[in-house]
Structure 1
Amino acid sequence: MADPTPPSGQPAASAPAAANSGAAYKAATPNPAFRMMGIPYLPKKLPSRNWMIFFAITGSLSAAIIYDKREKKRATARWARAVSHLAREPISDPNQLPRKLTIFLESPPGDGLRVAQDHFTEYIKPVLAASGLDWEFVQGRKQGDIRAAVAERIRRTREPEAVAQTKDEIIEEVRKKNNTPQWHGAKGDIVVGRHTWKEYVRGLHEGWLGPLTPPPEPEPVKKLEEAGALDGSEGEKQETKPEEKPEQKPERPPQPPPYNTTNDYPTSALPMFIPAEFSPSSPIEFPHILGFSNTFIRLRRFLNRRHLADDIGREVAAVCLAAAREYHEDADLSRSEQQTALEHEEKDWVKSVWKDEKPKEEENGSAAPTAPPPEKIWASPVVLDPRIAMRMRRFEIQPEEVARAKEIVVPEEEIEGWIKGSLRSLYRWAISKPEPNPSWPDE
């Protein structure tokens, strides 16, 4: 049997070993060109499969976020430039008051007011600031605040002889005495969100069709108030030295109840001095959804904010340009545009909006309500009176303004981020030539 061990003078794997050692030496020796540039050894292999998946997902998500953010800035800047000429127009009468818009904001269902304020700052404010127009806020923190504010404003205009109570009314009285001319033309209202729009329409009807005096309080509430007053007076007689309590912040005034209901619209008479056309309005989108189960919907909306910025910018530009029309009516659905505006937002509201609130019961277990239940405007359909609906106007941008806005080119420097802007500034600094100093001697 032959010996499998080869002779010591003739190694079997000498040639392959030498080839492998030469390849390893070449791989370990850096390229002279890379070595002169200071580049270290290049990796010998690609990352693992898991790392490749991680880099692909992270890079794709980062690219989508960066692209959407840049295009959102571009859309907002384009509409801001479309209305910027309004800020440069000369003033015909320096004593005349400028045009002032009214912004209606309210906490979305299930969330706070800060979310609505951030939405205004991100999408609406840049276009308004570029137009040079003035605006004021009407904000609500709970359901019914906007309805009460709109109705009260209208009732104050229906009472010309009423004594000025608010700060704005006192200022208006001073301006009237000084013969300061008012703005001649449409001012405009911007209503953010479907929930705010429902209260805005309800407030218009309550202000113009409702009475000027508040409705009488129900009997159970009066009895409870009288009992509380009696208990308080008896307590003062018994206690000689009341305990000192720490100072508390003043509570917000209670929300006034509605002066009428939707069932009272047909039987209500119009005021004598009602205007033929109301101030135009514009409902603005406010997509807002909560819940862990809606994470993918929120992510999809977050990656497509550029479309929302373009739609909102178009609506706000229409308000600034002050071109209005009547609200249309859908013949197929037998519903008007006021009823269907932003209706798609209702499916995103929390379930608690649609639940019926039971009246509070007394401590003894009786079902007598201690206070009338608040009106659920968000969960109720929009009820219109034809006399009020025909006087409402909506802002709409003209086709020539849309074509002019599409031709606007936004500079890249206005929408680029911090990294690209820093690199651009560094490049310009590097290629710039220093200006000659006159004090230097000529060579």
Structure 2
Amino acid sequence: MAEPTPPPPPPAADAAPKVAPKAAPPRNQALRMLGLPALPRKLPSRNWIIFWTISTAITAGIVYDKREKKRAIAKWSHVVEHLSKQPVPDMLGLAQPRKLTIYLSAPPGDSLRIAQDHYTEYVKPILAASGLDWEFVQGRREGDVRAYVAERVRRLRRSWDGDAELDPAKEPTKDEIIDLFRKERGIQEYDGVRGDVVIGRHTWKEYLRGVHEGWLGPLAPPAEPEPLPALEAPAEDKPAEDKPAEDKPAEEEKKPKRPAQPKPHNTTADYSSETLPDRTPGEFNPAAPIREPHLLGFLNTPTRLYRFFNRRKVADEIGREVAAVCLCTYREFHTLAPASDASPTTADEPQYEQQQELAWEEKDWLKSVWKEDDPASAAAAEIPERVRAKPIVMDPRIAERMRRFELSPEDEARASRIVVPEEEVEGWIKGKLRHLYQWGVSAAFEKKKLTPLEDEDVE
């Protein structure tokens, strides 16, 4: 017989009663009407705190540097903007205004676009605010700026000797056509200080080399080496007409896409033995070397990040230099004392300020700049002279005639008193919020002034 199932044991008397769940906290009505969830009542985790702290710090650094960079550019633009309001002296257009020359060239290891962006970001806004005219000299290869500066000086020397007539056998350049057009119509040259803006240490080196070559070198180009006599082809070789047509496109591809760069008319060793022309002016047009920091390489990331967060300092330094160019205040280049660690042979040689301008930029250049190329590779690259890897050699006669743009103490004091309004440097979001606030205040508290017609009831 099966035993009956025992009844379940009674519940323990000391068992804790079930606790009723807590009621949900009252939700913020404003957030509920906006469709937003309730705010959490606890701090985020440690990882989230680290993430938001780093992200906020980086964003704040970028926004602050960008705003202060705009403030520095706007400040120096206000310093020179009064020049744009001055009337043109010749209303008939028969006299040229002051025109600056901007020298750009591709930095070592990069393209010309980098130099163009640097100019557009830091230099162009101040030049545009001044209302001055300027022209570009852009070098895509090493030596292009050197060749242009030297040829420009030689053209001036030929005009003194009366040899500036166009050679019918040679195709005239763009500058020669413009000069001839102005002479035929009686347009006078600008009689005053122009000015050169040289961007980057690499361009500055080519600029100085071109100045020396133009003033000290001969007007005639160097003699070309005599070509080697052609070897007679063996009888068993096929004549040129029998070559297949497939070889002709390959030969055409070897032709250079750009015209060959003119060879220098002298070398740095020829400076002391050459004479200056009799009509050489006592002062050359002033120049302003503009810094162009350009650092490449993954291992240089910390330095590049530091420079990225301090672009406001670059904008302020470049703005000061460009403002001095626009205001046309300049001085002589100084002669520096020899360094204490200089060797006895170099201690007797004078050191000029031109040689030390922007010298710190050479530390950022690639190592390939300092390597000596084979003559065959240099000829293939069509660069007759490597200027950037060589030290700057100055002739005393040229050095004492050069001038440098520098801001005067009066202009420095005037610039320090300029206060840039916040509306010129604020971003899009802050500007929209400011306009919204001003609109709300004007709509709520400012009464509209009614004209007499609006104040009367018109039936």
Structure 1, residues 385-419: CA drift from partner, whole Å, max 9, x if none? 00111110001100111111111111111111111
Q: 1:91 aligns with which of 73, 84, 88?
A: 88
Deviation at 1:216, TM superposition (A): 1.9
Deviation at 1:253, TM superposition (A): 0.6
- Is residue 2:343 matched to residue 1:341? no
- Is residue 2:72 matched to residue 1:75? yes
User: Contact 2:194–2:285 at 8 Å: present in 1 too?
Assistant: yes
Letter in 2 for 1:319: V
Matched with 1:388 is 398
Change over 3 Å in CA distance of 1:277–1:58 after alignment to 2: same
Q: 1:223 aligns with which of 212, 220, 228?
A: 228
Change over 3 Å in CA distance of 1:45–1:179 after alignment to 2: same
Moved more, 388-397 or 269-278: 269-278
Matched with 2:103 is 104
* TM-score of the superposed pair, with normalisation by structure 1: 0.86
- Is residue 2:293 matched to residue 1:295? no
The aligned length equals: 417
Moved more, 430-439 or 86-95: 430-439
Matched with 2:214 is 207
Question: Matches of 2:324 and 2:352 in 1, distance apart?
Answer: 21
Question: Matches of 1:274 and 1:413 in 2, distance apart?
Answer: 50
Question: Matches of 1:135 and 1:439 in 2, distance apart?
Answer: 54
- Is residue 2:39 matched to residue 1:46? no
Change over 3 Å in CA distance of 1:136–1:25 after alignment to 2: same
Matched with 2:130 is 131
The runs of 5 or more residues in structure 2 that have no matched partner are 1-8, 167-171, 233-237, 340-349
Q: Secondary structure at the match of 1:158?
A: helix
Question: Matches of 2:224 and 2:293 in 1, distance apart?
Answer: 38
Question: Matches of 1:99 and 1:371 in 2, distance apart?
Answer: 37
Matched with 2:169 is none
User: Contact 1:84–1:130 at 8 Å: present in 2 too?
Assistant: yes
| TM alignment of 1:262-341, pairs within 5 A | 262-333=268-339, 334-341=350-357
Matched with 1:419 is 429
User: Contact 1:151–1:204 at 8 Å: present in 2 too?
Assistant: yes
- Identity rate, percent: 55
Q: Secondary structure at the match of 1:159?
A: helix
Change over 3 Å in CA distance of 1:194–1:424 after alignment to 2: same
Q: 2:205 aligns with which of 186, 195, 198?
A: 198
Matched with 2:409 is 399
* RMSD after superposition: 3.1
Question: Matches of 2:328 and 2:310 in 1, distance apart?
Answer: 28
Deviation at 1:425, TM superposition (A): 2.5
Structure 1, residues 85-105: CA drift from partner, whole Å, max 9, x if none? 001112222232100000000
Structure 1, residues 3-23: CA drift from partner, whole Å, max 9, x if none? xx9974554466xx45xx3xx
Deviation at 1:158, TM superposition (A): 1.0
Letter in 1 for 2:39: L
Question: Matches of 1:424 and 1:88 in 2, distance apart?
Answer: 31
* TM-score of the superposed pair, with normalisation by structure 2: 0.83
User: Contact 2:27–2:38 at 8 Å: present in 1 too?
Assistant: yes
Matched with 1:25 is 23
Q: Secondary structure at the match of 1:25?
A: coil
Letter in 1 for 2:121: E
Change over 3 Å in CA distance of 1:57–1:371 after alignment to 2: closer
Structure 1, residues 112-135: CA drift from partner, whole Å, max 9, x if none? 000000000000000000000000
Change over 3 Å in CA distance of 1:251–1:235 after alignment to 2: farther
Deviation at 1:374, TM superposition (A): 3.3
Question: Matches of 1:72 and 1:306 in 2, distance apart?
Answer: 4
The runs of 5 or more residues in structure 1 that have no matched partner are 229-233, 362-368
Letter in 2 for 1:180: I
Q: Secondary structure at the match of 2:363?
A: helix
